[in-house]
Amino acid sequence: MKCLVTGAAGFLGSHLCERLLNEGREVVGVDNLYTGSERNLRGFSGNARFTFMKADVCDLKSEDLGAFDEIYNLACPASPVHYQARPLFTSLTSVKGILLCLELAKRDGSRLLHASTSEIYGDPLVHPQEELYWGNVNTIGIRSCYDEGKRMAETFVADYVRLYDVDARMVRIFNTYGPRMHPQDGRVVSNFIMQALKGEDITIYGDGSQTRSFQYCDDLIEAFVRYMAAPKARMREFFGKPGRPAVPVLNTGNPGEFTIEELAKMTLELLPESKSRLAYRPLPGDDPKKRKPDISLAKELLGWEPKVPLAEGLAKTIEYFRVAAFSHP
């Protein structure tokens, strides 16, 4: 079975490629290396079933690519620091990237998984967030390039499902962390671990009372694999029923909810030798106040729920950063 993974050299893309290769698939990974790194591919770049293609999804046309049984669309900077640094590129990547994948899936009858995000809920007024919630998103804020790009991508997927019966599935991923996050990624888990390892201030934005739900990467990849293994007929039977989304879309995340201050303290407890102290910095614009997934649908459809508690996942991530952080280019 042949798979295409866009965003292959990123944090999640590289874990996905590795899992697909371990299951005997042939994998073509596409990445422009904006936030990803070929270093993430080292463990399997020598595998004869893996091909890496350095390319931007905004420049590729469906004619440039052959046929795939499965397509996984992960290309998009995910850290606020990096998506806000290139906002036009971020929106365009979401839109052009999904159109490329949808055209391929339509042409060749491929099954498609699209990486959407909890950010489509914006600063949510419903808590926890379930898939039927439409969200609370600012169209003109500094996060909008990411949030609205991802929302537009969901709309394209839904319309290709309705118009062309494309076998597409979306996952709304809640904050996911783990080994192979870039040390300068800028997201909270990697920032806190790097700061604690270097003895620098732990930068809490705002008063640290905002919450997030943190999912370990292996749990997410397991959900991807189960979702893509389900037959198309099962998608038709499950979605579109009263009380469920009209097209295949699932939340994936760990429902454990922590304040950012709790995360900072937990990181320091796992690194008792650290000399770092908590330091409070201004809160960036439009920062969501709380976030927690309702994962009832994923449990029912896939028999899936996350297994790795935050303290265990953080400990594994710290072990990775101890080595990687100081040898990273």
75 or 301: whose CB is closer to ligand NAD? Answer: 75
Residue in the block written with tokens 């997927």: 157
Binding residues for ligand NAD restricted to 136-175, rule: CB under 6 A: 173, 175
- As a whole number of angstroms, the distance between CA 308 and CA 50 comes to 28
Binding residues for ligand UDP restricted to 44-83, rule: CB under 6 A: 79-80
146 catalytic residue (yes or no) = yes
Binding residues for ligand UDP restricted to 223-252, rule: CB under 6 A: none
287 makes contact with ligand UDP (CB under 6 A)? yes
Residue 69 φ then ψ, to 5°:
-75, -40
Considering the complex, what minimum distance in angstroms separates the CB of residue 93 from ligand NAD?
4
120 makes contact with ligand NAD (CB under 6 A)? no
- As a whole number of angstroms, the distance between CA 161 and CA 64 comes to 23
- Sole window of 51-59, 193-201, 257-265, 320-328 interacting with ligand NAD (rule: CB under 6 A): 51-59
What burial class does residue 87 get, using C-beta atoms within 10 Å of its C-beta: 0-12 exposed, 13-18 middle, 19+ buried?
middle
Among 4, 5, 11, 105, binds ligand NAD (CB under 6 A): 11
What are the structure tokens assigned to 307, written together? 């297994």
151 makes contact with ligand UDP (CB under 6 A)? no
Residue 80's binding partner, choosing from ligand NAD, ligand UDP, none, with beta-carbon cut-off 5 to 8 A by kind?
A: ligand UDP
114 or 292: whose CB is closer to ligand UDP? Answer: 292
Q: What secondary structure does DSSP assign to 193-260, as a single string? A: HHHHHHT--EEEETTS--EE--EEHHHHHHHHHHHHHS-HHHHHHHTTSTTS-SS-EEEES----EEH
Binding residues for ligand UDP restricted to 178-217, rule: CB under 6 A: 187-188, 191, 203-205, 210, 212
Residue 211's binding partner, choosing from ligand UDP, ligand NAD, none, with beta-carbon cut-off 5 to 8 A by kind?
A: none
Residue 305 φ then ψ, to 5°:
-155, 155
Query: CA–CA distance from 180 to each of 42, 50, 176, 204 (Å)?
Result: 11, 19, 12, 22
Set 34, 72, 146, 177: catalytic member: 146
Draw the binding track, 75-94, toward ligand NAD (x: CB under 6 A; -: no contact).
xxxx--------------x-
**Cis amide bond preceding 80, omega within 30:** no
- List residues with catalytic annotation: 146
Please report, as ranges, the residues that interact with ligand UDP according to CB under 6 A: 79-80, 175, 187-188, 191, 203-205, 210, 212, 260, 284, 287
